[in-house]
Structure 1
Amino acid sequence: MDTADDGTSTARSLGAWLDRLSFTDLSEGDATARLIDAIVEWAGRQGWRVYRRAPSVVPLPPPMRGSSVLDVACARPGGAAPIAIEVDRTDRQRTVDKLLAEAAAGRLAIWVRWGPGPFPPPPLPVHLVTRQAARRSGKWHTVSERPAPDHSVAAPVVAEAEELPWNP
């Protein structure tokens, strides 16, 4: 995917994949799960080993023990850097800190943000991938930035009404 592997083309590929994802009437948790499922499918199609809830290099805050987890991690062949992916609707400093630590450990760090935006860019070298979504009646649905097709934005046709012949 990336020969120099600064992560840009990998993030763009994931963004293009998620642009095709659509969902309607999902809770926040179900929408996040749908995004994670789509990311897992994308990574699997790349031929990578994919791990959900993979251990992070970041320890859990006290008094908890162990490591934090990543939403998705990918191992890539040929010496390519592993990928660490987090998925969030909100802007969380803990996520930024976790992804910065993953990048410092040699992983390609990608933050998938979804919701209505705006999505401020995280500090480099964390890559940002976004998916627009809106909430209606407490449920989430994807939003497309694609323009409406011509047939739906054309000026309406005005016709003159005329009486038709009636043959009983």
Structure 2
Amino acid sequence: MEPAESLSAALAALTFADLTIDETTGRIVDAVAQWGTGQGWRVYRRAPSVVTLPPPMDRQHSVLDVACARPDGPPLAIEVDHTNRRRTVDKLLAEARAGRVPIWVRWGTGGFSPPPAPVAMVTVEVTRRGKLNSRGHQRPAPTHSPVLGGVAAGAPEEITFPLDPPPEPG
């Protein structure tokens, strides 16, 4: 199985609820790193990229969200984004030219445009409620009142007419 297919299968099981954009990205990066470790590879977070930063910081290198060193193949260069940034595509294409396998993990509510080859895309669809993101997380059903004598507690009682006055205390 190709790395992008394997990563996609691993991320399909990822669930979370009510996370901000940064928390969502962090949770996905954690899952990617865990996947790489589970493959038996050396995993590096915020690994140096072959791409330098724009001036005036052009003596420093950009970073990859995750890089994986594999004994059985070229290294993986993995970026995790919720936006469609041209800079990310350019960085991953540069990584491919340097002999790395580029994977772009895109997350969001859908409508992902595929990147140019050889960049592989893994998508993680989420639902958004306000500014919070969730994935595959079902909120628990509300607690219902117990059923007493065949009638749910709190349910209206059957009323018959004519109404009799309540008995006198006595």
TM-score range, shorter chain: 0.7 to 0.9
Displaced runs of 4 or more, over 4 A: none
TM-score under structure 2 length normalisation = 0.78
Alignment partner, residue 46 of structure 1: 39
How far has the Cα of 1:16 moved from its partner? 0.5
Alignment partner, residue 66 of structure 2: 72
Please give the residue correspondences for 1:154-165 in structure 2 after superposition, counting only pairs within 5 Å.
none
Alignment partner, residue 77 of structure 2: 84
Alignment partner, residue 63 of structure 1: 56
Alignment partner, residue 37 of structure 1: 30
Bigger Rg, which one? 2
Paired residues of 1:109 and 1:126 also in contact (CA < 8 A): yes
Consecutive unaligned residues of structure 2, counting only runs of 5 or more, are 138-170
User: Secondary structure of the equivalent of 1:24?
Assistant: strand
TM-score under structure 1 length normalisation = 0.79
Alignment partner, residue 100 of structure 1: 93
Aligned residues: 137
Name which of 111, 115, 124 aligns with 2:117: 124
How far has the Cα of 1:138 moved from its partner? 1.2
Cα RMSD over matched residues?
A: 1.4
Report the Cα distance in structure 2 between the residues aligned to 1:91 and 1:142, rounded to whole angstroms: 20
Report the Cα distance in structure 1 between the residues aligned to 2:119 and 2:77, rounded to whole angstroms: 10
Alignment partner, residue 5 of structure 1: none
Consecutive unaligned residues of structure 1, counting only runs of 5 or more, are 2-8, 145-168
Paired residues of 1:40 and 1:50 also in contact (CA < 8 A): yes
Report the Cα distance in structure 2 between the residues aligned to 1:125 and 1:143, rounded to whole angstroms: 30
Report the Cα distance in structure 1 between the residues aligned to 2:60 and 2:131, rounded to whole angstroms: 35
Alignment partner, residue 19 of structure 2: 26
Alignment partner, residue 6 of structure 1: none
Identity %: 60
Paired residues of 1:23 and 1:141 also in contact (CA < 8 A): yes
How far has the Cα of 1:143 moved from its partner? 4.7
Paired residues of 1:132 and 1:143 also in contact (CA < 8 A): no
Paired residues of 2:16 and 2:136 also in contact (CA < 8 A): no
User: Secondary structure of the equivalent of 1:87?
Assistant: strand
Paired residues of 1:48 and 1:75 also in contact (CA < 8 A): yes
